């Protein structure tokens, strides 16, 4: 059983942190000691991706609505290693949380690739992410003499083990402790939300939005759920007990794997 556990973890964890979409949010800076300096967001992804096809909307945790103007992305991602690269976008006035967040959006169809937040969770009330619940990245920046101060020149960054920070900024470069590789047999623009899920309803979208075969496994490798998901449907996983699971999805001969948290 112990060997099976480690085998399952190894297979699934290889694709959890990265490759969710062709592009993803990779670094954030919104707060530091004193006046905020160098605020911005880094987008990373597959080299050669035209970022002008995407934009970012900022979301206010107080009410869940967008604030400010959309951040129109530009440029083509370079190859900084293993077919991936990153571009940093300066943005003055990113709010300091408790909570706040941002959605990465494909302009052509307003598809939300990611909806992330810091210092808490947001349910969007307008814009492309309307009705979606954000994923809290689990780390934050501070300008507070009691809980600590984030130094100027530091940021929150995505690594192999998830989001970390604050650490020294790496604007426009792939982050330290971040290994990326292209998975050619992966479902394009796959997203699964909300995660964590608390109400038993789990939604899945992708670029093609075709029928999907979904399997959910426990940490010991036991299959606990299986269903053929039709377009525009959601999964009812209300019978799953609280805990951490692995999800495997097949669509049109391609695969996506994710970690799922059930609250």
Pair (36, 153) in one structural domain = yes
Pair (217, 249) in one structural domain = yes
**Which residues 6+ apart lie within 8 Å of 124 measured at CB?**
59, 64, 65, 66, 103, 115, 130, 131, 132, 133, 134
Q: What is the pLDDT of residue 19?
A: 41
C-alpha distances in Å from residue 122, one per residue of 171, 191, 262: 26, 17, 17
Q: What is the pLDDT of residue 5?
A: 44
Number of domains in the chain: 2
Whether the Cβ atoms of residue 257 and residue 15 lie closer than 8 Å to each other: yes
Residue 255: closest CA among 205, 191, 192, 186:
186
* 155 part of a folded domain: yes
Q: How far is CA 161 from its chain centroid? A: 13
CA distance 193 to 25: 16
| Size of the chain, expressed as the number of residues it contains | 263
Pair (121, 247) in one structural domain = no
Q: Which residues pair with 254 in a beta bridge?
A: 251
CA distance 184 to 259: 20
**Which residues 6+ apart lie within 8 Å of 10 measured at CB?**
none
Whether the Cβ atoms of residue 91 and residue 25 lie closer than 8 Å to each other: no
Q: What is the pLDDT of residue 180?
A: 78
CATH number of the domain within which 199 lies? 2.60.40.10
Pair (32, 160) in one structural domain = yes
* 173 part of a folded domain: no
Pair (221, 156) in one structural domain = no
> pLDDT averaged over consecutive 10-residue blocks of the chain (263 residues)?
46 44 90 91 92 97 95 94 92 92 92 92 95 92 71 93 90 88 72 90 89 89 89 89 91 84 91
Range of 60's domain?
23-168
* 201 part of a folded domain: yes
CA distance 77 to 79: 7
Task: Note the pTM of the prediction, 2 decimals.
Answer: 0.67
* 228 part of a folded domain: yes
C-alpha distances in Å from residue 85, one per residue of 13, 188, 237: 21, 18, 36
Pair (45, 161) in one structural domain = yes
Pair (144, 199) in one structural domain = no
Pair (233, 157) in one structural domain = no
Pair (105, 229) in one structural domain = no
* 29 part of a folded domain: yes
Pair (123, 222) in one structural domain = no
């Amino acid at each position: 059983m112990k060997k099976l556990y480690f085998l399952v973890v190894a297979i699934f964890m290889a694709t959890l942190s990265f490759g969710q979409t062709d592009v993803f949010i990779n670094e954030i800076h919104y707060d530091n000691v004193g006046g905020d300096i160098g605020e911005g967001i880094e987008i990373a992804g597959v080299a050669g991706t035209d970022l002008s096809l995407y934009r970012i909307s900022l979301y206010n945790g107080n009410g869940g609505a967008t604030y400010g103007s959309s951040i129109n992305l530009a440029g083509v991602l370079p190859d900084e290693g293993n077919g991936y690269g990153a571009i940093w976008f300066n943005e003055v006035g990113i709010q300091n949380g408790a909570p706040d967040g941002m959605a990465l959006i494909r302009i052509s169809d307003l598809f939300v690739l990611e909806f992330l937040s810091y210092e808490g969770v947001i349910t969007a009330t307008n814009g492309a992410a309307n009705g979606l619940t954000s994923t809290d990245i689990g780390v934050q920046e501070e300008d507070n003499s009691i809980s600590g101060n984030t130094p100027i020149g530091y940021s929150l960054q995505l690594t192999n083990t998830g989001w970390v920070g604050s650490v020294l900024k790496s604007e426009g470069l792939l982050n330290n402790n971040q290994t990326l590789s292209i998975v050619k047999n992966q479902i394009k623009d796959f997203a699964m939300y909300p995660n964590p899920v608390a109400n038993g309803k789990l939604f899945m979208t992708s670029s093609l939005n075709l029928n999907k075969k979904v399997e959910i496994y426990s940490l010991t490798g036991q299959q606990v759920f299986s269903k053929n998901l039709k377009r525009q449907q959601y999964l009812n996983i209300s019978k799953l007990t609280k805990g951490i699971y692995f999800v495997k999805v097949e669509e049109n001969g391609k695969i996506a794997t994710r970690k799922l948290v059930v609250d």
